[in-house]
């Protein structure tokens, strides 16, 4: 039995047609994975924006949510790590879909291997004080409570999609700049270096066989001696995912490969 990892699907991003196509593609991947899956790990930013009120959740995503509920009903473990676009989940996915929720990095034993799993959005950002402040603010329970009581859901979602679109545009602009300057592949790889640096530091004090990150939207399978870091990439352009087989070997794969 296999364990699958995916991140940065950003369900609901873009226009209606594009969002629907990405969701159908993702659900088709879920169906294919479920044929031999023991567990499916969703490593953050599965939704482009998710803000959960006590009695209100965003419209849409019924194909995905129904599929996740179907899997957990069948005994397939589904584990959801919050990302910077969907960190404000509550108990809805657990109650309705049977999904396990993690809001922080985890070191897990999977198929006899030590696997460190994290979205990766708040790692190695000591030199970015504004980003650190935003991360702290968005993770504040007090801010979440004030937001939920003071902002109507329609306005909350409108703000969230604007903010998420701005973040995605930053990724796309950086990628386009790299293409214009002829530094495409190397530039893409360089974006994952902070996560690799974090993995090096963490591995110096812990026994880890595989690191799995999302967030950067660029798929990369990095190996250096005993260090193995997999960045899952994003689904907007070149969807990629990782598979941990029953021998404990992890492989990065591309959806259309």
Please give the pLDDT value at position 107.
98
Closest to 102 (Cα-Cα) out of 122, 75, 83, 123: 83
Considering its fold, how many domains does the chain have in total? 1
Give pLDDT tens digits for 123-175: 755 555 554 555 565 566 666 666 666 777 766 666 666 666 666 555 555 55
Please give the pLDDT value at position 196.
95
Q: Which of the four pLDDT bands, split at 50, 70 and 90, describes residue 53?
A: confident
Give pLDDT tens digits for 82-117: 998 888 888 999 999 999 999 999 999 999 999 999
CATH number of the domain within which 178 lies: 3.60.21.10
- What integer is the mean pLDDT of 206-227? 96
Please give the pLDDT value at position 126.
59
**Token digits for 245?**
């087989």
Alpha-carbon distance of 216 to 204, in angstroms, equals 23
| Containing structural domain, residue 206 | 2-254
Alpha-carbon distance of 200 to 58, in angstroms, equals 38
Please give the pLDDT value at position 186.
46
**Token digits for 116?**
């460190």
For residue 225, pLDDT beyond 90 = yes
Please give the pLDDT value at position 165.
63
Alpha-carbon distance of 37 to 4, in angstroms, equals 7
Please give the pLDDT value at position 98.
98
């Amino acid at each position: 039995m296999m364990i699958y990892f995916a991140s940065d699907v950003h369900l609901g991003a873009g226009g209606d047609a594009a969002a629907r196509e990405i969701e159908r593609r993702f659900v088709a991947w879920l169906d294919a994975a479920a044929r031999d899956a023991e567990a499916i790990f969703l490593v953050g930013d599965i939704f482009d924006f998710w803000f959960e009120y006590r009695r209100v959740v965003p419209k849409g995503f019924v194909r995905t949510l129904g599929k996740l509920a179907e899997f957990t009903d069948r005994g397939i473990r589904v584990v959801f790590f919050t990302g910077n676009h969907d960190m404000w989940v509550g108990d809805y996915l657990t109650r309705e879909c049977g999904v396990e929720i993690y809001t922080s990095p985890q070191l897990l034993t999977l198929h006899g291997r030590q696997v460190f799993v994290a979205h990766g959005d708040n790692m190695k950002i000591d030199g970015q004080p504004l980003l650190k402040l935003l991360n702290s603010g968005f993770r504040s329970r007090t801010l979440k409570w004030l937001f939920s009581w003071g902002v109507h859901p329609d306005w909350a979602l409108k703000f969230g999609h604007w903010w998420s679109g701005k973040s995605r545009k930053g990724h796309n602009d950086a990628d386009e700049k790299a293409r214009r300057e002829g530094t495409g592949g190397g530039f893409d790889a360089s974006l994952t270096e902070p996560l690799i640096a974090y993995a090096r530091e963490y591995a110096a004090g812990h026994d880890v066989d595989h690191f799995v990150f999302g967030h950067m939207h660029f798929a990369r399978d990095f190996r250096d001696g005993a260090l193995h870091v997999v960045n899952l990439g994003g689904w907007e352009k070149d969807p990629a995912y990782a598979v941990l087989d029953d021998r404990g070997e992890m492989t990065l794969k591309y959806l259309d490969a």
